[in-house]
Amino acid sequence: MSAVFLHASVQEEILALKRERKAIILAHHYQESEIQELADVIGDSLELARKAKQFDGEVIVFCGVWFMAETAKLLNPERIVVVPEAKAGCSLVDSCPVEQLRAFKQRHPDHVVVSYINTSAAVKAESDIICTSRNAVQVVNSIPAEKPVLFCPDINLGNYVKQQTGRGNMRIWQGACIVHATFAARRLTATKMEHPGALVAAHPECPAEVLAMADYIGSTSAIIEHCVKSEAGEWIIMTESGVRHSLEKGAPGKKFYFVANENCNCSECPFMRMNTLEKLRDCLEGLAPRVTLPVGMMERARLPIERMLAL
Ligand code: 13P
Ligand code: SF4
């Protein structure tokens, strides 16, 4: 059986199971194209959090990484939330164990804790407000200027927010994304020399020296919207290469170049790419792996997300 035929039949199974289960498929822009093609909604972490809340079916299939599915569950406690691959984690989540955050809060009880959505539900439950890469500046600006802030866990996004807000009283956790943090300015320089007419769009999880070279900085969806709408015909994209799918659909005549990262010579998130069509079908069929969280933690973790959504 050819791979193409095999995929076509898996896709049909997924669509039939989706109807049967009254499910919605949410996919992050970093998913494989074949998964994005089947999704009801494709988006960045903020858009998917919002969509998860508006949906009125019974099952949410979250094609992304575990913390994103946890967020969907927090906003939809009565719905079943499943993921294709339970091991699809995130280096930012791993860089902020909840015990360490609790210890920080004991030492610095006056700090307002702003946590990036790329954190565990347990960390969210210890946070005052959540942010995403799209609204981090707005979230920090919403906190009274005299209050000290802890921004966790992404050091690059934190530094970018500090620079944009001019906030002196902001401490930043030392976590990083294993994909964006290893995008190197010297490789970007080499790519710019190959494509001198191209502009640069970067995700704020990139190092400061990469952001300093960017013509546009934004979340994954913001990058897609900006590059599709802009007059420029060529872009160097400093984020995960899954965004190519929507970029090329939105602007078929334009050219998009991706810069490999230092560690794996690619620009793919190894966690996001654990999801496959077959795993997507199996999770719809078996309604597992399923996100379950303790009720008390869910209540405490939902509050800072709702504060963000209300902004
Ligand atoms: P977005 O907020 O742009 O979706 O980013 C999430 C993420 O994991 C980036 O690596
Ligand atoms: Fe986490 Fe980075 Fe992967 Fe995003 S790209 S899910 S921040 S490891």
pLDDT of res. 7: 55
The span from the CA of 245 to the CA of 32, in Å, is 8
Residue type at 179 in one-letter notation: V
pLDDT of res. 1: 42
Digit-coded pLDDT (tens) for 97-115? 999 999 999 999 999 999 9
Q: Which atom of ligand 1 is nearest to the CA of 179?
A: 10
The span from the CA of 273 to the CA of 291, in Å, is 19
- 31 C-beta closer than 6 A to ligand 2: no
- Lowest average pLDDT, out of 1-10, 148-157, 209-218, goes to 1-10
pLDDT of res. 4: 47
pLDDT interval class at 54 (50, 70, 90): confident
The span from the CA of 199 to the CA of 119, in Å, is 31
Measured from the alpha carbon of residue 117, the closest ligand is 1
Quick check: bond before 153 cis, omega within 30? Answer: yes
Digit-coded pLDDT (tens) for 211-232? 999 999 999 999 999 999 999 9
Measured from the alpha carbon of residue 267, the closest ligand is 2
* Residue in the structure block whose two tokens are 């899954």: 242
110-126 mean pLDDT: 98
Quick check: bond before 270 cis, omega within 30? Answer: no
For residue 244, is pLDDT > 80?
A: yes
pLDDT interval class at 2 (50, 70, 90): very low
- 269 C-beta closer than 6 A to ligand 2: yes
pLDDT of res. 8: 57
How would you label 29-57 residue by residue, b for 16+ Cβ within 10 Å and e otherwise?
bbbbeebbebbeebbbbbbbbebbeebee
How would you label 215-234 residue by residue, b for 16+ Cβ within 10 Å and e otherwise?
ebbbbbbbbbebbeeeebee
Provide the 8-state DSSP code for 272.
Answer: G
Measured from the alpha carbon of residue 203, the closest ligand is 1
Digit-coded pLDDT (tens) for 31-52? 999 999 999 999 998 889 888 8
Q: Which of 227, 301, 290, 203 is nearest to 21 (CA)?
A: 290
For residue 242, is pLDDT > 60?
A: yes
For residue 264, is pLDDT > 90?
A: no
pLDDT interval class at 261 (50, 70, 90): confident
> What number of residues does the chain have?
311
**Alpha carbon of 175 to ligand 2 centroid (Å):** 11
Q: Mean pLDDT of all residues in the chain?
A: 95
For residue 265, is pLDDT > 90?
A: no
- 238 C-beta closer than 6 A to ligand 2: no
In the chain, the domains with their CATH numbers are 3-89+272-292 (3.40.50.10800), 92-176 (3.40.50.10800), 180-258 (3.40.50.10800)
- 219 C-beta closer than 6 A to ligand 1: yes
**97 half-sphere exposure, CB direction, 13 A CA radius:** 3
* Residue in the structure block whose two tokens are 């869910």: 298
pLDDT of res. 263: 78
- Lowest average pLDDT, out of 5-19, 128-142, 277-291, goes to 5-19
Q: Which of 149, 197, 139 is nearest to 173 (CA)?
A: 149
pLDDT of res. 197: 96
Q: Which atom of ligand 2 is nearest to the CA of 91?
A: 8
| CA-proximal residue: ligand 1, atom 8 (nearest) | 118
